[in-house]
Amino acid sequence: MTKTLRTPEHVYLCQRLRQVRLDAGLTQAELAERLNKPQSFVAKVETQERRLDLIEFVKWNMACEDLDAAHQIISALADGMSGSPLTP
């Protein structure tokens, strides 16, 4: 299987997750506390050093109180994989 770190899709995902956090008015430390993870977990996701699994993705959006963002991100990724350009 091909690595997905730092692919255009992964970069888009990380940028959008960071924006979801910022839109929620949370610092990395505050989000990490809500996720019961260290702050470095959030930082590594946002800087494309770590991938999220599906459950972590949902928990991130739930912790930011924005499940609509999860739907938007998934839709954009699906469109991007169909040939549409990804823009954060």
Share of the chain above pLDDT 90, in %: 76
- Strand, helix or coil for residue 28: helix
**Is position 36 within any domain?**
yes
Q: How far apart are CA 50 and CA 68, in angstroms?
A: 23
Query: What is the arithmetic mean of pLDDT over 70-86?
Result: 82
Q: Which CATH number does the domain housing residue 29 bear?
A: 1.10.260.40
In a domain, 75, yes or no: yes
Predicted confidence (pLDDT) per residue in 16-29, tens digit: 999 999 999 999 99
Q: Domain residues for 60?
A: 8-81
Establish if 1 belongs to a structural domain.
no
Number of domains present in the structure of the chain:
1
Domain contains 2: no
Tokens standing for residue 5 = 């770190």
* pTM exceeds 0.75, yes or no: yes
Q: How far apart are CA 27 and CA 76, in angstroms?
A: 25
In a domain, 50, yes or no: yes
* pLDDT average, residue stretch 69-75: 93
Where do we find the tokens 């929620």?
24
Using CA of residue 32, residue 38, residue 1, residue 15, what is the dihedral sign? Answer: positive
Q: Is residue 55 part of a domain?
A: yes
DSSP output for 50-75: S---HHHHHHHHHHTT-HHHHHHHHH
Examine residue 88 and state whether it is found in any structural domain, yes or no. Answer: no
